[in-house]
Amino acid sequence: MTNQDVAEKLREVYQLMQLAGENRFRAIAFDRAAQTIEGLNEEITKYIAEDTLTDIKGIGKSIAEDIKAFQETGTMPVLDALKEKVPKGLIEWLNISGLGPKNIAKIYKELGITEIIELKEACLSGAVADLPGLGQKSADKIIKSIEYLEKFGERARLDQAFEIAEPVFEFVKNLNGVQKCDIAGSLRRYRETIGDIDIIAAADPKDASSIFEAFTGHDLVVEILGQGDTKSSVRTENGRQVDLRIVKPEEYPAALMYFTGSKEHNIVLRQKARERGMALNEYGLFKLNDNKETDFDQPVPTSSESEIYQKLDLHFVPPAHREDRGEFEYYSEHDSMDVVSVSDLKGVIHAHSTWSDGKQSIQAMAEACMERGYEYLGISDHSRTAAYAGGLSTDDVKRQWDEIDELNESFQSEGKDFVIFKGMESDILGDGSLDYPDEILEGFDFVIASVHSALEMPHDKMMSRFKNAIENPFTKILGHPTGRLLLKRDGSNIELNQMIEWAVERGVAIEINASPWRLDLDWRFGNKAKETGLLTSINPDAHSIEGIDDIRYGVMIAQKAKFESARVLNTKSATEFRKWLNGKSG
């Protein structure tokens, strides 16, 4: 249980109390307690163990008991009681921009509605506009926010987040007065889905107003959600919220570190600072006074994130690794980690053509790969069972092979140093077998074995299915193992740690499917992959020329999962890749 966990629960109590129409000052007490706990330099568990919770300013006996109950049971009685009292639908309303708890309570009390769809109808009918203190402007704003939620949801894929973050970041960093600027938050850590986009800028306070004015006036901005002295929030045309924070130049390293996260990483950093007689927060690194409190008059000079880590006896931890998943142990002893980069990749594996459900011909896909500097393309169209995706019959396979042979001969005669490999993305059938007879399978250069159907098969049967596929002598690569579609569909009920062990035993690679819908293998299994020496291939699963460029997102996940280039198949040259496929070294 972390300070942030407790703060989030207390803040939830605060919100629900307002929705329930509870005493305003009692509700505010929970919010202030949450803020206090977020700012503690020591973990709340220490106060619980020492029975000194009420020594914390703003934590009375009642809230202290709520916190103890949360530690013991994982919930708070006051919160459970409020959830019984407040209709579940109203809680979802808190995601609607511009509609605070007070107005939610008012609408619920006056109109008796609890669902978002009912709220939208009430806004359209004029019922909300007629309520005291609301009016047509408020109703219009609520409708717009609901429409954004309906269209875009609360989270975005990695590609969607970069699509909006990168142009706004480039714009802000070139504004007059901006001395430094970075994308922060979970996007900087390459998480597979993103909430709000955070941008941090260093500037003199006198320049903040003009910077915010330019930021809120950007062409992509469709709505200003809030603007203050140090932070402005906007909504962009694709529905994403972007927050710009401006800090003083001397605060920038600590602010960038703090707002990059993760929460879990930051907690350990704060603990390490205290162990060394210092306090770390979003404003900087400071010495502790004799009472073990932050002495803001004694800042510890730091000019970069690297220097903050150095003061804490650590080497710089790349943002992608800041998840409290072994990075502290590693970077206390090593100054860097060898991880794959986009420039290491020499080929594209797992791409589709018009033979199945791709948009371009094999030749067009090959030429696009050449333009991007790659040495080879592994075509892997869908197998015959995937009829919905134009899966190839055995006759289609043979005709495709002929086309690939002709293209390779043509490239060679034209002096182009490029190879197309004959691959197939074979469906893994219900019993774990592949989709063609052995005499066809042995004609491919490589087979990617993937599950596309019956993803909800019971755990034991699914594991047996995968085991059989991995043990098939024609399987070279296991495709998108969980089958998940981010923000749309959960993955299969499987044990990836066990599957990684099976794959390593059989010399089978597990792909990192770079499609931003998948990003599967999940980076959270990177430590297991590193421990076992698992090979991967960063595959775009491209169904178009544009899809080839999704490979960048796969590289981000590979970096987060700690894959060095030596364990990534498509860092091999065409010759080395062929040797690997043939079971030889290289």
pLDDT in tens, 350-401: 999 999 999 999 999 999 999 999 999 999 999 999 988 899 999 999 999 9
pLDDT of residue 152: 67
Residue 463 pLDDT exceeds 90: yes
255 and 281 Cβ atoms separated by less than 8 Å: no
Q: Which one has a higher pLDDT value, 285 or 90?
A: 285
* CATH number of 42's domain: 1.10.150.110
In a domain, 336, yes or no: no
Give the pLDDT band (50/70/90) at residue 116: confident
Whether residues 126 and 200 fall in one domain: no
In 10 A of CB 264, how many CB atoms?
A: 14
When mean pLDDT is compared across 9-13, 144-148, 400-404, the lowest value belongs to 144-148
**In a domain? residue 302:** yes
Percent of the chain whose predicted confidence (pLDDT) is above 90: 73
Condensed to tens digits (0 to 9), the pLDDT of residues 216-267 reads 999 999 888 888 889 999 989 877 899 999 999 999 999 999 999 998 899 9
DSSP string across 318-350: PGGG-SSSSHHHHHTT-S------GGG--EEEE
Residues 375 and 483 occupy one common structural domain: yes
Number of domains in the chain: 4
How would residue 576 be classed by pLDDT, with cut points 50, 70 and 90?
very high
Listed residues 247, 278, 306: the one ending a domain:
247
Q: What pLDDT was estimated at residue 475?
A: 98
Give residue-wise pLDDT tens across range 9-30.
998 898 888 888 888 888 889 9
Domain residue limits at 356: 342-581
Looking at 308, 331, 354, the residue that finishes a domain is 331
More confident residue, 554 or 155: 554
> What CATH number should be reported for the domain holding residue 174?
3.30.460.10
Same domain? For 95 and 73 the reply is yes
Helix (H, G, I), strand (E, B) or coil at 51: coil
From 131, 152, 173, give the residue that closes a domain.
152
Stronger pLDDT, 338 or 98, i.e. the higher one: 338
Hey, what long-range contacts does 530-535 have (CB within 8 A, 24 or more apart)?
530/561, 530/562, 530/563, 532/500, 532/501, 532/504, 533/504, 533/567, 534/500, 534/503, 534/504, 534/509, 534/510, 534/567, 535/507, 535/509, 535/510, 535/567, 535/568, 535/569
* Cα(255)–Cα(246) distance, integer angstroms: 9
Identify whether residues 321 and 425 lie together within a single domain. no
Exposed/middle/buried for 32, CB within 10 Å: 0-12, 13-18, 19+? middle
Question: Cα separation of 357 and 352, whole Å?
Answer: 7
Q: Does residue 254 sit within a domain?
A: no
Query: Could you tell me if 321 and 368 lie in one domain?
Result: no
Confidence of residue 83 (pLDDT cuts 50, 70, 90): confident
pLDDT for 586 equals 43
- Count CB-CB contacts under 10 A for residue 578: 17
Q: What is the CATH number of the domain that holds 276?
A: 3.30.210.10
pLDDT given at position 41 = 62
Task: Give domain status of residue 252, yes or no.
Answer: no
Whether residue 544 is contained in a domain is answered as yes
Q: Which of 244 and 106 is assigned the larger pLDDT? A: 244
pLDDT at 38 over 70: no
353 CB-side CA count, 13 A: 25
Interstrand relation of 477-478 and 376-382 (parallel, antiparallel or unpaired): unpaired
Let me know whether 238 and 304 are in one domain.
no
**Claim to verify: residue 102 and residue 215 sit in the same structural domain:** no
Q: What's the pLDDT at 584? A: 63
In a shared domain, residues 381 and 433: yes
Question: Residues 90, 230: one domain?
Answer: no
Do 212 and 351 lie in one domain? The reply is: no
Q: Sign of torsion, CA 340 342 344 350?
A: positive
Token pair 């979970």: residue:
186
- 135 and 218 within one domain: no
In a domain, 586, yes or no: no
Task: Tokens for 204, please give them.
Answer: 């003199």
Which residue in the block uniquely carries the two structure tokens 């930051």?
266
pLDDT, average across residues 332-338: 97
> What's the confidence (pLDDT) of residue 46?
86
For residue 255, being part of any structural domain is answered with no
Q: Note whether 312 and 382 are same-domain residues.
A: no
Give the SS3 label for residue 499: helix
* 150 pLDDT above the threshold of 80: no
Q: Is 337 among the domain residues?
A: no
Q: Per-residue pLDDT for 97 more than 80?
A: no
